[in-house]
């Protein structure tokens, strides 16, 4: 490895590296946010209590079956294959000519949503059943229970897993180069193709990926610590004066006025 060539590559091609890193961060961030929303919706729907009979039971069974297929398909296939199928398949099957950036966000969001839905479902199941019963006892329906009691706890509990998905998406966006999305890997490949120094070029990309993931991880851990609150809680109470027998006698001798 030549340090001189690394410096030369960075000084000459830094706009391409910067543009690729920015695209990677934007796609990962938007995809993680949208995927988390999808995961919340799917997770809540899959935890709706199943009625014993009736049309609602059949409707929920159909919805759960569709959501199960969605989760299994997108968790059981690589994102690189999903990118090819969604981007090129939408054009061939439905004549939809998607923008590459839009397609990238859709792909990352749907893929993240499949993983987040199981994380959310696990978070909801982990909540004590007594909280559901207490909410129903005061007249809350399932949606009100979720919004006011369950989801605030679930969101806090799944924050580490959500941050982990964000970090994974930063790295996994590299597969989007198969549909020519100009993220960091695609830009690095272009730089390496111009100077024929592949090792040095991808070493720079490796450093950039590490800086992004390391920084995001530290920021998320800081947020987690803030949400957890202080390790030691100090209880403050008003100091109450304790009246001794001598004080009571002195107050009585002064006519019960309380002035000593």
Classify residue 235: in a domain, yes or no. Answer: no
Residue 200 belongs to a domain: no
Q: How far is CA 250 from the centre of its chain?
A: 67
**Whole domain around residue 126: which residue ranges?**
11-185+210-229
Residues 124 and 43: beta-carbon distance below 8 Å? yes
pLDDT digits (tens, 9 = 90+) for 103-152: 999 999 999 999 999 888 888 888 888 888 888 888 887 778 888 888 88
Q: Which pTM does this prediction carry?
A: 0.80
Q: For each of the chain's 260 residues, which pLDDT tens digit applies?
A: 678 888 888 888 889 999 999 999 999 999 999 999 999 999 888 888 777 777 888 888 899 999 999 999 999 999 999 999 999 988 888 888 888 899 999 999 999 999 999 888 888 888 888 888 888 888 887 778 888 888 888 888 888 888 899 999 999 999 999 998 889 999 999 998 888 888 888 999 999 999 999 999 999 888 878 777 665 555 544 444 545 556 655 655 665 554 44
Please report whether residue 191 resides in a domain: no
Give a yes or no: residue 148 inside a domain: yes
CA dist., res. 74 & res. 173, Å (int): 15
Q: Specify if 260 maps to a domain.
A: no
Tell me the DSSP string of the chain.
Answer: --HHHHHHHHHHHHHHHHHHHHHHHHHHHHHHHHHHHHHHHHHHHHTSPPPSSSHHHHHHHHHHHHHHHHHHHHHHS-HHHHHHHHHHHHHHHH-----HHHHHHHHHHHHHHHHHHHHHHHHHHHS-HHHHHHHHHTT--HHHHIIIIIHHHHHHHTHHHHHHHHHHHHHHGGGGGGGT--SHHHHHHHHHHHH--HHHHHHHHHHHHHHHHHHHHHHHHHHHHHHH--SS--------PPPPHHHHHHHHHTTSSS--
Evaluate whether residue 117 is within a structural domain: yes
Looking at the domain assignment, is residue 162 inside a domain? yes
Domain count of the chain? 1
Contact 216, 163 (CB under 8 A): yes
Residue 253's pLDDT is 62
Nearest to 19 by CA among 213, 171, 185: 185
Q: Count of alpha carbons within 13 Å of 130, Cβ hemisphere only?
A: 1
CATH number at residue 131: 1.10.3720.10
243 assigned to some structural domain: no
């Amino acid at each position: 490895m030549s340090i001189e060539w690394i410096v030369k590559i960075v000084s000459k091609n830094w706009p391409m590296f910067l543009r690729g890193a920015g695209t990677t961060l934007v796609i990962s961030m938007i995809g993680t946010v949208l995927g988390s929303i999808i995961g919340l919706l799917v997770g809540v729907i899959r935890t709706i209590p199943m009625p014993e009979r009736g049309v609602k039971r059949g409707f929920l069974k159909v919805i759960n079956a569709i959501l199960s297929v969605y989760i299994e398909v997108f968790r059981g296939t690589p994102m690189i294959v999903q990118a090819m199928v969604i981007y090129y398949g939408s054009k061939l099957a439905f004549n939809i000519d998607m923008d590459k950036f839009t397609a990238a966000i859709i792909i990352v969001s749907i893929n993240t949503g499949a993983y987040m839905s199981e994380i959310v479902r696990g978070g909801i199941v982990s909540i004590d059943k007594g909280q559901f019963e207490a909410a129903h006892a005061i007249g809350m329906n399932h949606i009100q229970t979720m919004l006011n009691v369950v989801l605030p706890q679930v969101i806090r509990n799944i924050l580490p897993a959500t941050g982990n998905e964000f970090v994974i998406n930063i790295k996994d966006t590299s597969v989007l180069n198969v549909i020519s999305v100009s993220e960091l890997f695609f830009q690095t490949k272009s730089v390496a193709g111009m100077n024929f120094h592949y090792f040095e070029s991808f070493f720079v990309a490796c450093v950039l990926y590490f800086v992004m993931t390391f920084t995001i991880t530290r920021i998320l851990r800081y947020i987690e610590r803030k949400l957890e609150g202080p390790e030691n809680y100090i209880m403050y109470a008003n100091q109450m004066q304790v009246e001794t027998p001598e004080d009571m006698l002195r107050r009585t001798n002064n006519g019960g006025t309380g002035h000593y």
